[in-house]
Structure 1
Amino acid sequence: MDTSASNRRLRILLTSVSNKTLIPQPDFQRRLVWTNNDKIEFIKTVLEGYPFPEIYIAAGKVDPKTGDGAEVLVDGQQRITTLYQYFKDSPDIKLGKHLLPYSKLDEDDQINFLEYKVVVRDMGNMPLDEIKKVFQKINSTSYGLNAMELHNSRYGGEFKTFGEEISQMKFFEDHRVFTSNDIKRMSDVKYCLGLLITIMSTYFNRDNDLEEFLLKYNEEFPLKEAILENVTSVLSFIEKLNFDNSSRAYKKADFFTLFVELYRVLINEEYEIDIPQLRNKLDKFYEQVEWASSGQVNADVDALNYYKAALQASNDRSSRIQRGEYISKVIKSAIT
């Protein structure tokens, strides 16, 4: 595979996008997900003359009769599209008062922008299937990134940042909900994003809805303040239950269910709950679950089914729903 690298002036790339001889978004590429702030910071990088990582292109379709052809942008569409939008004074970028539009730059600054050298790695006339494989390699498994780390590399917006903020709440540290490895691999952020998505919608299967919400609320997340207040309120309520840190209540699958069902009863349905009574009932239920986990044949049926839903495929939608039904029953039995 020939992947020779060379420099191209930015004006050549921008002109190619304009006349459609460089296709910035082939079908296999992901949608544009940079926030407005991401775009501004990247434009400043170019205006100040700093380098950015190489982009990949490949030969596209060629008309054998006319000799006309096009290239496809295999990797780098966010960068090139952002620079093209800036060059065209596109309304898709809100520059604010600290960055001049391209049309208002001094002529020397415009020339410097257009003459900026971009490192381009040309993959040549490669079949589409091979291009897709290269794109996936560049953007996915080269360093063994997990799903959340990949999302983190693609989304720097409001919803992802809010998930990080929730994961860093003192509550989770105090009760050791997350392991050091969870935190190292961003599993704590993914977990908290899952909690947020569930209270905003419903139980979902594994991580299926994660990217949808990251994209939907990438630019702005207007619900942030209200949800933060509600999440804080529910966590405060759980603190008042005063579980021992060894309780099942702080195991990830169990806590997920307890938090979501308490949120629904306290926030959505606005019921009052007798805290000592609920603590007593949950202690008894979790005791039955532990009893079921030891293989006792006379274990409570609800507790046995709950345990199975927490043990196997615990992140499947059906398991989450099943656990929710049993915990909801216990919670509602303590409503005042």
Structure 2
Amino acid sequence: MGFDYIRSAVKLAEIRSQFKRGKLVVDTSYQRRKVWLPEDKIRLIETITLGYIIPELFFWDAATDPETGLSITHIVDGQQRVNAIFEFTEGAYKLSTDCLISDEAKEKYGNKYFNDFSESEKIEFWNYPLSVVQINEESKERIKMMFYRLNLTDYDLNAQEKRHGTSWGKFADLTTEIASLEFWEKFSLFNSQDIRRMRDNEFCATLIILARKGVIDQTTQKAINDAYTDYAENYEQMEADKAEIFEWMKIATEIFNENNLKFFRKKTQLYTLFSLIRYMRKNNIKITSEIQDKIDSFITQYNDFKNDSGSIIEEGSYEDKIRIYKLASSEGVNKLRNRNIRLKVFKEIISE
């Protein structure tokens, strides 16, 4: 059965008002995060000021208050555009001339904030008609699938953003919960681009799989895709896995210091660290000052190591371990073989 919907033109001022009052919202359970760069926002506003058409917005009345009859409307598609418009009208950014394309826009609006617009320019901006598709549908699952379909040809939507848009259930909930912990922000383990593109969620999904199955091959998206499906409803070990990962984070907090943090901010090395912590917990190995020193010493020598002289390195030596580890960190980092090599080297380092 198809969707029941109505197309209409709604003034920009009305959309902005609904968004500011919280009547128009973004449902983060399936929407991706704000990913637009400043130039993307500026060029959208430029398009509006020049009177050109922008793509239509898709809205869905998700819930209605039985007492007041007022509804909460979800932005199924168009949150980047709505956010860009709202932020501009709130004075969050200016129309930097370097980002504008049209000579007309550069002359009239270059380096202007919304408050710098003339009275007539503001009125024209508020009256700009946005094309809105209002969807009448009861099933949130069908709305999620619609979001996925709308973005199916969006090549900027990465694998994790697509999963977030179409997957739900216990595994998805746990991934989101772990990704939202202060731990990641406290140690700046993900950069702003990682967070915008939900790579933090993807890494946390990888950690849950590590807790479930140990070190596996993840050269494709299959393992994560399967986990989102397999543990959507039947996930009896969810609380146990969560508690285990929380313990890993406590131990990682003990290990992190100013000498090694830059090394562990690389996702390849961070995954290796959590693999090592998992091994240590299974073998009742506690973090001691001696083990900490061994980890820091290895990282220092790893950072300083250069084997470009063609000199022979004795097999099994400390330098050989560093060389092998570097090779396993340079390409195919998610291959099972290379993940196991990196873990093996660290296991040998802490036990020597």
Name the TM-score, length of structure 2 as normaliser. 0.54
Which stretches in structure 2 are left out of the alignment for 5+ residues?
A: 6-59, 77-136, 143-147, 314-318
Query: Secondary structure of the equivalent of 1:209?
Result: helix
**Partners of 2:237 and 2:170 in 1: CA distance:** 10
| Structure 1 residue 276 displacement after superposition | 0.6
Aligned AA (1:314) = V
SS at match of 2:222: coil
Tell me which amino acid in the other structure corresponds to 2:236. P
1:330 counterpart = 2:349: yes
> What SS class does the counterpart of residue 329 from structure 2 fall into?
helix
Q: How does 1:181-192 map to 2 (within 5 A)?
A: 181-192=193-204
Aligned letter for 2:192? S
Q: Which residue of 2 aligns with 1:72?
A: none
Q: 1:261 aligns with which of 257, 271, 276?
A: 276
Paired with 2:292 and 2:238, the residues of 1 have a C-alpha distance of 30
Matched, 1:284 2:303: no
From the superposition, tell whether residues 148 and 242 of structure 1 become closer, same or farther in structure 2 (CA, over 3 Å). Answer: closer
Alignment partner of 1:142 is 2:154: yes
When residues 297 and 163 of structure 1 are mapped into structure 2, their CA distance, relative to the original with a 3 A threshold, is: farther
What's the counterpart of residue 235 of structure 1?
249
Q: Which residue of 2 aligns with 1:12?
A: none
Conserved? CA contact 1:306–1:326, under 8 Å: yes
Partner SS for 1:141: coil
**RMSD of the TM alignment (CA)?**
4.0
Q: Distance in 2 between matches of 1:154 and 1:165?
A: 17
Number of residues of Structure 1 aligned to a counterpart in Structure 2: 225
Q: Could you say which residue in structure 2 is the equivalent of 1:222?
A: 236
Contact 1:249 1:255 survives alignment (8 Å): yes
The Cα shift of 1:265 comes to 2.1
**Offset of 1:182 from its aligned partner?**
0.4
Identity %: 20
CA–CA separation in structure 1 for the residues paired with 2:226 and 2:351: 32
- 180, 196, 199: which one aligns with 2:211: 199
CA contact (8 A) 2:248 2:274 kept: yes
Which residue of 257, 263, 279 corresponds with 1:248?
263
- Normalised TM-score (structure 1): 0.56
SS for the counterpart of 1:144 is coil
User: Which shows bigger deviation, 323-332 or 275-284?
Assistant: 323-332
User: How far is 1:290 from its partner?
Assistant: 1.2
For residue 242 of structure 1, report the CA deviation from its aligned partner.
3.9
CA contact (8 A) 2:217 2:335 kept: yes
Q: Is residue 2:227 matched to residue 1:208?
A: no
| CA displacement at 1:293 relative to structure 2 | 5.2
Secondary structure of the residue aligned to 1:331 is helix
Contiguous gaps of at least 5 residues in structure 1: 9-41, 54-77, 84-135
2: CA distance between counterparts of 1:285 and 1:162? 33
